[in-house]
A and B are shown apart, each in its own frame.
Chain A
C-alpha cells in the first residue's frame, strides 16, 4: 500500500490522471479488504488472544492463564476425537462426492438438451437450507417411523434396520451420507462447467481418428478436468474440516460425542458450558488443523490456482 501512495509524487504536476489510475485499484479493493479485516482478520487474532484466558464470556473477570488452555487442548481426548471425526468426514466427502458428481456431470453433459429437468432436479438438494434438510433426515432415519427402516423391512432386509442416529456406531456415518448427498450437486455443476469448456472439435477429431467415447473420456476429458477436480477436492476437504450445521441439527454431536466435530465441540464449550476462553482455544486449534491439512493439500495440487 505504501508503494501506491508514494507513486503519485513521482508523477509530478501532470500526475492527476496517473494518480487516479494508481489509486483506483486501492479504492476498489478497500471495501473487500476492510470487510476481511473486520470479519476475518480481527476475529482470528482476537480468538488467539482469548485462548489465553479463563473467561466465561461475561463481565470483566477474565483471567490470563497463558498457555494453560493450550496444554489442556493438547491432552483433550474429546477434541482429538472430534478432529478425527472431521478427518473421516473429509475423507468420505472426497471419496463419495467426487466420483458420483463426476459421473452425473458426464452423463448430463452427454445427454444434451433433454437433460434440463434432470439438471434442475439434481441441483435441488443444494438449494435447501441445511436446517430443513437436517429435520427432514431426522424423520428419514427415525427408528420407529422412518422410511429407511420401513424400506429395509419391506425388501426383507429388516435385520439391517438400525437406530441410525442414536447408535454410536452409525450416527456419524448417517450424517456423513446426508452431507455428501447435499453437496454432490455443487461438485457436479463444477465438473459440468469444466466439461463444457472442453473444445468440441478436439473430440470430433479424436472420433474421426477412431477413438471410442471411453477413450475420449479417460484420455482427454479427464485430464482436461484435472485442475477442476483438484479445486473440488480442496474445497471439499476444507469444507469438511470446518463443518457444523447438519451435525448440529441432526445429532448435536451425540450420542455420547460419537459424531462430535471440532466446530460443534467449540460451540458447546462457548455457548453451553460458558467457557469462552477454552472455546476460543478450540477454535484456534481448529484453525491450525485446517491450515495444516489445507496447505499440505495445496502443495500436492500446485496447478490448482492456474487451471480453474
Chain B
C-alpha cells in the first residue's frame, strides 16, 4: 500500500517539477550535455568552461552544464550516479581498475571508432597515455588534465648546507638518510593516514628490484607472475629497513596528507624529502611560495642488483581522463565535446596553468614542467599508481598492507602471501 502511495506522490512531485521546467525549456530549446569533473581550482575550471563555450559556439542548440566537485565527494557521487543509472554525459576518471569496473558494467562509450575517423587528433597524444583507459584493446577515455609522476621532492638549501647531493642509488640514499638523522632532521616526511602516500614507496621498490614486469605480470596473471614472488618480499624488506633506520618522521601512519600533515614538516625544515606526485609542486607554490624556491626533485633511486631501470616512473599520463557514458542521449555530440576538452587550445590553457597534458610536442616554458616532461619522455615505463591500476578491492588491500608494512605489524612475507591469495581470488 505504501509503495503505491510513494509512486503516486513521486509522480505528483515529478509533475510539479516538470511543470516548472517545461515553459523554460520550451523557450530555450537547447539540448543539455552534462559534464562532471573534479577540477575545483579557478584555472582548471576556466579551461573547461572555455572549451565548453567553444563547443557551444560550434554547435548551436546545445548547452554544456559543467559541474565541478571536490575529489573525495566526487568519487562517492559518481559511483552513486552510475549505480542509480543517472550518470552525467561526460565524466572524469583516473582510468585503471575502478574505471574498468564502469566499462565492464557496460556504462562507457567505446571511443575507438571515433578516434579511427580522426587519426590526426588521436596521434597528438603520447601513446602510453591511453594505457589506463584501454580495455581489451579499446579506448574508453581521452587523457585530459595533467601528467603526474611520483618523484622525491627535497629541500635544496638544506642539502647544500649539509653538502648532500640527490642520491641516485640505494647506498647513496642510505648515506643521505644517515647525515640528515645526525643533524636531527627527519629524512622523509610521510603522511600515511591516506595510505596511497606510503604505498608509492613499495611500488617504486618493486619496480627497481624486479622491473616493471614484476607488477604487470602479477596484476595481469600472466607469465607466471605472482605477488608472492621474492621481488615483492624484498621490496617489503627494503621498505622496513628504511622504517627501522628512522627514515620517516615520527607519527607517519597517523598524519593526513590532505590537511598538509607532511608538507608542514618540510616547511618547518623538520624533514628534508617527500616522495610525492608532481602536483605537489603547484600545491607548495600556492601554500608557501617562499619555500617553493628551495624545492628540488629527483627520481626514485636504484636498488643494487635490481632489474628495474632507474628511469621507470610511477604515475599517470593523463591524470583525469574524460569519457562519455552510454546513458547519454547525445553520445556523438558528447564525444565532440570531449575532443574540445582535450584539443590544442585546451592543452595550451592547461600548460599556462602549470599543468602538463600528455600531448606530443607541447610548447612548455615553465622549467619545472620541462624537467617533468623530460623524465616522462626518457622513461622506459610509466606504471599507473597501483591503487588505481588494480581492481578496487585489491587496490584497497594494497593500501592496507603497505600501511601495515610501515607499521611493522606484518612481515614482508605475510604481506606478499596475503596479497597473492586475494589476487588469486579476485583476478582468477
Contacts and interface: CB of A to CB of B under 8 A. Distances in A.
Interface of A: 33-34, 37-38, 41, 56-61, 135, 138-139, 141-145, 163-168, 171, 251-252, 254-257, 268, 271-276
A109 B188 CA distance: 53
B113 interface: no
B2 A58 contact: no
A272 B254 CA distance: 19
Contacts of B270: 144
A3 to B, nearest CB: 14
A143 B396 contact: no
B253 A254 contact: yes
B384 to A, nearest CB: 17
Contacts of B249: 143-144
Contact of A271 (B6, B75, B104, B253): B75
A275 B425 CA distance: 14
What 9 A-B pairs come out closest when comparing CB atoms? A166-B254, A59-B105, A143-B251, A165-B254, A58-B105, A166-B253, A163-B251, A274-B392, A255-B253
Contact of A144 (B75, B195, B250): B250
B311 interface: no
A59 B253 contact: no
A132 B74 CA distance: 20
A168 B409 contact: yes
Contact of A254 (B82, B101, B193): B193
B2 A34 contact: yes
B251 A144 contact: yes
B264 A145 contact: yes
Contacts of A135: 259
Interface in B406-428: 407, 409
A256 B400 contact: yes
A256 B409 CA distance: 9
A138 B193 CA distance: 11
A59 B254 CA distance: 36
A234 to B, nearest CB: 28
B79 A57 contact: yes
A143 B265 CA distance: 11
Given A56-B105, A163-B250, A268-B396, 12 more contacts: A34-B9, A38-B6, A58-B83, A138-B259, A139-B259, A143-B250, A167-B251, A168-B407, A256-B407, A271-B79, A273-B393, A274-B79
B106 interface: yes
Given A56-B105, A255-B254, A142 B407 contact: no
B256 interface: yes
Given A61-B105, A163-B254, A274 B6 contact: no
B277 interface: no
Contacts of B5: 34
Given A58-B102, A144-B249, A252-B193, A171 B254 contact: yes
A166 B264 CA distance: 17
Contacts of B250: 143-144, 163
B166 interface: no
Contact of B193 (A33, A41, A251): A251
Interface bracket on B: 35 or more
A1 to B, nearest CB: 8
Contacts of A145: 264, 268
A254 B391 CA distance: 21
B220 interface: no
Given A56-B105, A272-B396, A142 B403 contact: no
Interface of B: 2, 5-6, 9, 75-76, 79, 82-83, 98, 101-102, 104-107, 192-195, 249-256, 259, 261, 264-265, 268, 270, 391-393, 395-396, 400, 403-404, 407, 409
A144 B2 contact: no
5 contacts: A59-B107, A135-B259, A138-B261, A163-B254, A273-B396
A144 B407 contact: no
B400 A257 contact: yes
A256 B83 CA distance: 29
B405 to A, nearest CB: 10
Contacts of A255: 192-193, 253-254, 403, 407
A275 B393 contact: yes
Nearest to A146: B251
Contacts of B253: 163, 166-167, 254-256
A272 B390 CA distance: 12
Contact of B261 (A37, A142, A171, A276): A142
Contacts of A171: 254
A58 B325 CA distance: 13
A254 B403 contact: yes
B240 to A, nearest CB: 14
Given A38-B6, A166-B255, A171-B254, A59 B396 contact: no
**Residue from B2, B98, B252 having most chain A Cβ neighbours under 10 A:** B2
A299 to B, nearest CB: 30
A274 B99 CA distance: 11
A18 to B, nearest CB: 23
A165 B193 contact: yes
Contacts of B98: 274
Contact of B254 (A56, A60, A143): A143
A210 B101 CA distance: 76
Nearest to A58: B105
A59 B325 CA distance: 12
A145 B255 CA distance: 11
A246 to B, nearest CB: 13
B33 to A, nearest CB: 22
Contacts of B400: 256-257
A37 B407 contact: no
Contact of B104 (A59, A139, A143, A275): A59
Contacts of B6: 34, 37-38
Nearest to B397: A273
A271 B81 CA distance: 12
A270 to B, nearest CB: 8
Nearest to A271: B76
Contacts of A138: 256, 259, 261
Contacts of B192: 166, 255
Contact of B101 (A56, A164, A165, A166): A56
A297 to B, nearest CB: 30
A143 B391 CA distance: 34
Q: Which of B101, B251, B255, B268 has the most CB of A within 10 A?
A: B251
